[in-house]
Amino acid sequence: MKNAVNILFITTIVLLLSMSKSFSQTLHIYGGQNNETYLGCINCNTLDANSIWNEYGTYGNSYNSQCIWNEYGTYGNEYGNYCPWNSYATDPPIIVDENGNFYGYLTVNDNKSNRANFVLALTLYQYYDLIRDNVSKWYSKIFQ
């Protein structure tokens, strides 16, 4: 019994450490043709100039053409092929870390292979239409 408890404890610690490591990476979004257009940092705070959560920054401002929250822009229009919110998109944005390691496609298209399926991505898929109305409020809900 004691060995089983120890194994469970060690397994839990390893799982928690691996989860914290994955969230310690700064993740970036790239979209467009050949994913050459930078679309912002997906897990940076609201004060970061590159954050998709910074409503006053380039990538969090819903009036900017390179913002995934701009419902009329290339990357936020639900009918656009480069938009993560298009359920039929074949060329959605990618998520990579600072070293270029691929974390998946940012897309609501659940038929897309290699779709990002970590908790933050799944939250964005479910609530993107509400998030775009109040980005900073949702940042607080998600990260704090």
19 occurs within a structural domain: no
21 occurs within a structural domain: no
3 occurs within a structural domain: no
pTM over 0.75: yes
Number of domains in the chain: 1
9 occurs within a structural domain: no
**Where is pLDDT greater, at 78 or 19?**
78
Is pLDDT at 36 greater than 70 in this prediction? yes
Q: What is the 3-state secondary structure (H, E, C) of the chain?
A: CHHHHHHHHHHHHHHHHHHHHHHCCCEEEEECHHHCEEEEECCCCCCCCCECCCCCCCCCCCCCCCCCCCCCCCCCCCCCCCCCCCCCCCCCCEEEECCCCEEEECCCCCCCCCECCCHHHHHHHHHHHHHCCCHHHHHHHHHC
Contacts of 106 (CB under 8 A, 6+ apart): 29, 42, 68, 84, 92, 93, 94, 95, 116, 121, 124
93 occurs within a structural domain: yes
18 occurs within a structural domain: no
58 occurs within a structural domain: yes
Is pLDDT at 25 greater than 70 in this prediction? yes
17 occurs within a structural domain: no
Give the structural domain span for 42.
Answer: 26-143
pLDDT tens digit string along 62-75?
Answer: 999 999 999 999 99
12-21, 54-63, 86-95: which range is least confident on average? 12-21
Euclidean distance between CA atoms 77 and 83, whole angstroms? 6
